[in-house]
Structure 1
Amino acid sequence: VSINQEDIERLDSIPGIATRMAEQMLAELGTDIKNQFPSASQMCSWAGLVPGNNESAGKRKSSKTKNGNKYLKSALIEAAHSVRGSKNYLGALYRRTAARKGKKRAGIVVAHAILRIAYYLLTRKEMYVDLGEDYFDKQKQQSIVRHSLRRLESLGYTVSIIEPEAS
């Protein structure tokens, strides 16, 4: 089975994935993704990019990632660390997660996101469209405004908000 050049170009459109990485991903995943993996979650699980679920009596014991395809997993984590400073959705996801959970966990979160994106690009035959660096800020704009307002008021400032004009 030959690797399709269009699939390589689709994967290459994802930030952090170059041509060699796209070829390596397709070599590990195979070319018939839709029949091999019914969903993106199952593909991520197969690659070992999902958190463990070790729980006993309602107590979470370990969230270490499960074992999977070590070649694909390490390549995706390397790609994830390469986007950390980039001004796009994946870079913002990395920085946001790293601030809360550390760089290693952020690498795994972004690698998981890259693999999910790859699944949808390959099954829908589409090119990657970036959501933008400010995606998370847009999602939570109102809560950011409220939070900033409360922080300024707690510091003793009097604040009045002027709504931005719709353009």
Structure 2
Amino acid sequence: MYIQNKIDAALQRCNIRICNYISNVRAKSYCEIVDMLSEGKISPELLIVKVHKRTINKCGRETILAALEGVVNKTDCRILKQLKEELDMLRRHKVECLVMLRDICMENFKEQILDIQTIPGIGEQGAMQIIAETGVDIKALMPAAMLVGWAGLKPRNDESNGKFKSRSTTHGNKYLRKILIECAWGASRTQRCFFNKFSYHQTMVRKKNIQKVQVAIARKILVVIWNILEKGVVYSDVLEKDKTKDN
């Protein structure tokens, strides 16, 4: 993201403001415009071809052309090319690291990786990243509350005279917390599972902030992961158990 921001800053210096009308700097249209500029193609009429028609219809062709009209010289093109090559290199390194991580996990922790993937919202990459942060010897982090606190997902108990001053989470492993919150978003969107029902009830019925609800779901997912690694079992959804009892 740092390199992408540097690329956008380079475009801003050239008075190219297309980022104001494209959703984000990782969008396909934006990346193709950067590719053309790095190759020395600076004509707005050529660049606008890469902008999605929906964006042109929404903002107007003249507005998009004005956003692509900049002062770009050979030095700017060279800088964009170098930044793009650096970004491509980082992406290539990321893929290589993920492949290496997968090989290590499948060789040593295959059973745990597959068990964690039974939790809604967690795929192979998420499971590998979680194992990379926590390890599989979960007894070193007993009990589960200690693991939750280590991840920085435990609510702060800042109370004085019966009044709560803060409910923000504690400091912890920011990498593990980020992974779990991403998984929480996926779990809350997985239909017919406990996390989806919990998210709906908290946000729609109790009117709680959706960001705080995702933190709560991430905390619950981490407790489930602790039980999976500690007991060597797979995830069993509460809703599925209720259906079995009804039948």
TM-score by length of 1: 0.75
Q: Is the 8 A contact 1:11 1:118 kept in 2?
A: yes
Q: Does 1:88 align with 2:197?
A: no
Task: Name the structure 1 match of 2:181.
Answer: 77
3-state SS in 2 of match to 1:132: helix
Consecutive unaligned residues in structure 1, runs of 5 or more: 136-165
Identity of aligned residues (%): 34
Q: CA offsets, 1:106-132, max 9 Å, x none? A: 101110110000000110000111111
1:54 matched to which residue of 2? 158
Aligned residues: 136
Q: Is the 8 A contact 1:121 1:127 kept in 2?
A: yes
Instruction: Report if the CA contact (8 A) 2:122-2:187 is conserved.
Output: no
What pairs with 1:21-60 in structure 2 (closer than 5 Å)? Answer: 21-34=126-139, 36-60=140-164
- The correspondence for 1:122, drawn from 229, 234, 245, is 229
- Distance, in Å, in 2 between the alignment partners of 1:115 and 1:109 is 10
Return the offset for 1:133.
Answer: 7.4
1:138-166 CA distance string (max 9 Å, x none): xxxxxxxxxxxxxxxxxxxxxxxxxxxx9
| 1:149 corresponds to | none
Bigger RCO (CA 8 Å, 6+ sep) = 1
1:94–1:77 distance in 2 versus 1, CA, 3 Å? same
C-alpha distance in 2 between matches for 1:96 and 1:70: 27
CA displacement at 1:50 relative to structure 2: 1.1
Structure number with bigger Rg: 2
For residues 51 and 70 of structure 1, the distance between their equivalents in structure 2, rounded to whole angstroms, comes to: 15
* CA displacement 1:77-117 (0-9 Å, x = unmatched): 11111122322011111222223212101101110110000
**Structure 2, unaligned stretches of length 5 or more?**
1-103
Quick one: which amino acid aligns to residue 231 of structure 2? R
Counterpart in the other structure of 2:202: 97
Higher normalized helix content (fraction of residues): 2
Shift of 1:33: 0.7
What amino acid maps onto 2:226 in structure 1? Y
CA distance in 1, matches of 2:241, 2:111: 29
Contact 1:97 1:105 in 2 (8 A): no
Q: Which amino acid aligns with 2:116?
A: L
Distance 1:133 1:93, change over 3 A: farther
Partners of 2:115 and 2:195 lie apart in 1 by 16
